[in-house]
Amino acid sequence: MALEQKIKYEGDCDQAFAKWVVSQTGGENLRHCIQCGVCSATCPLSLYMDYTPRRLINLAREGFKKEVLSSLTIWLCSSCYSCRVECPKKIQITDIMYLLKRRAIEEGVYPRRFPIPVLAREFGRMIFMFGRVNETLLVMDLFLRTNWFRFLSMTGLGMNLMRTGRMSLLPDHIKKRGELRKVLSALDSEEKA
Amino acid sequence: MKKHLYFPGCSLKGSGRAYEESFLAVSRALGLEMRELEDWNCCGATAYMSVDETKSYALAGRNLAIAEREDLDVVAPCSACYLVLNKTQHALQDHPELRAKVVKALKAGGLDYKGTVKVRHPLDVMINDVGLDKISKLIKNPLKGLKLASYYGCQIVRPYATFDDQHDPVTMDKLMIAAGAECVPWPLKTRCCGGSLTGTVPDAGLRLAYILIKEAQKRGAGAIVTLCPLCQFNLDGYQDQMAGKYEKVKMPVLYFTQVLGLALGLSESELGIKRGIISAKAALAR
């Protein structure tokens, strides 16, 4: 029988991670949280989350790195900013979700074939290539990479978009692609330096 | 004719092209000149911020730097574009280190960013620059009997509301009333439509969109009127799937510029009315 430790001691937490969260843009006043739970109450997606926003905030500031980064919560945040507007301590919860998503992608800790990180990555790739996003190609690419079956179930919507002239099959692109790539690549070399 | 720089964003060139068509037609009718921003790029929306923070600000920064070459306001009809461009201005104002990095990267591409541009929403321009008085005088075909649920979605008033209330926005309601329509009272004006979750986590996303349609129906609306291409797409495009999962619903979803355009006497084809997946014919016939 494998035993699992159900309660964590302070020493088990990752203090460096807690410090990192607070050092990021948006995380500055994380420690001001009074755990009132307004964020969880106003969040339209908290009913699907493994940790409600209030609990996630508490876990993040205590350094529960593994729990926070592998949570579904961060990916279910749709960036509606409801929590941020309601928070009495003006904590930028949406931006904390973003910075946790970035860290989770960086460390590769999210469920395999889970569509949201894949979407985010492909979105970035399309921008680097074309400077603009073609919704049709992005969605097709996403389903082919994650869920074939779902792709088939979307054909009805695809036909409707075709019928109403809302689907573009050719990628649109900016003229000065080189200029944009220079800007984005400048930040790559910045990070390495 | 007051001049503006128009920032379309990717959706208004794709699935949201009825928004572009109707927005440009209404702008002309109201005497607003909208010139498309030269060689604009994707704003980054919500997805790119999950990948790279500095790059997503640089991406939006390129658009702002191009706009700065002229002394004109940028008008962004898409909620995600409006938010991201405004958010970039705020972030680069508040965080000098971040600003230094972004300015340096933009310089590498030969671009100069100062942060002087004002990013505005069409609602703001129409209500505060053109004014309700002038708009009311231009109404040729008041849409008597049309009942609308006015839906703002999340990213227009949150988090940087400048021209409307964060909890109970009213600017679109005022325009719809000027157009002769009626706005039913409903409490879901700024509740999330599901965003990109309708595609990525359908169980959650679809439910959010369904809640909005159902409530609009319950309140006696003949159509939902919105100002965001993603909201329009989610509410209009997924009603078949809602029928499979919840119940059969039928609710046309129009852009506020389409409704206003009809009242200004513009034709249905100019306004892209037929681009709705759920036909608005019955609702508009009243």
Q: Is residue B6 part of a domain?
A: yes
Parallel/antiparallel/unpaired status of strands B32-36 and B119-120 = unpaired
Q: Is residue B269 part of a domain?
A: yes
Answer yes or no: are the C-beta atoms of B44 and A133 closer than 8 Å. Answer: no
Q: Is residue B126 part of a domain?
A: no
Q: Is residue B255 part of a domain?
A: yes
| Every domain of chain A and the residues it spans | 13-107, 115-192
Of the partner residues B101, B110, B191, the one whose CB lies closest to the CB of residue A44: B191
Q: Do A119 and B47 touch (CB under 8 A)?
A: yes
Domain of B13?
Answer: 2-120
Supply the DSSP symbol for A172: P
To the nearest whole angstrom, how far is the Cα of B160 from the nearest Cα of chain A?
A: 9
Answer yes or no: are the C-beta atoms of B273 and B284 closer than 8 Å. Answer: yes
Report d(CA A159, CA B241) in Å as an integer.
Answer: 14
A-B CB pairs within 8 A amount to: 188
User: B109 and B139 in one domain?
Assistant: no
Angle at B277 between CA B273 and CA B283, to 5 degrees: 55
Parallel/antiparallel/unpaired status of strands B119-120 and B74-75 = parallel
The pTM assigned to this predicted structure is 0.95
Chain centroid to Cα B53, Å, comes to 24
User: B101 and B205 in one domain?
Assistant: no
To test the contact with chain B by mutation, choose from A79, A119, A151, A155 the residue with the greatest count of B C-beta atoms within 10 A, namely: A79
Beta strands in B64-202 (DSSP E): 74-75, 119-120, 147-151, 182-183
Q: Is residue B127 part of a domain?
A: no
User: B180 and B74 in one domain?
Assistant: no
User: Among all residues of chain A, which has the CA nearest to that of B188?
Assistant: A44
- Helices A15-23, A53-62: crossing angle, 10 deg rounding: 110
User: B280 and B156 in one domain?
Assistant: yes
CATH of domain A13-107: 1.10.1060.10
Q: Do A165 and B111 touch (CB under 8 A)?
A: no
Residue B225: name the closest of B127, B151, B145, B167 by CA.
B151
Q: Do B51 and A76 touch (CB under 8 A)?
A: no
Phi and psi, residue A116, nearest 5°: -65, -50
User: B116 and B138 in one domain?
Assistant: no
Report d(CA A135, CA A170) in Å as an integer.
Answer: 10
The residue from B88, B120, B152 where one domain ends is: B120
Exposure on the CB side of residue B265, measured as CA atoms within 13 A: 10
User: B265 and B230 in one domain?
Assistant: yes
To the nearest whole angstrom, how far is the Cα of B111 from the nearest Cα of chain A?
A: 9
Q: Per-residue confidence of chain A (193 residues) as pLDDT tens digits?
A: 788 888 888 888 999 999 999 999 999 999 999 999 999 999 999 999 999 999 999 999 999 999 999 999 999 999 999 999 999 999 999 999 999 999 999 999 987 778 888 888 889 999 999 999 998 888 888 877 777 667 777 888 989 999 999 998 888 899 999 999 999 999 997 765 5
User: B160 and B66 in one domain?
Assistant: no
Q: Do A187 and B240 touch (CB under 8 A)?
A: no
Helix (H), strand (E) counts: chain B: 14, 8
User: B88 and B59 in one domain?
Assistant: yes
Of the partner residues B17, B108, B205, the one whose CB lies closest to the CB of residue A183: B108
Give this complex's ipTM: 0.94
The residue from B84, B99, B120 where one domain ends is: B120
User: B68 and B190 in one domain?
Assistant: no
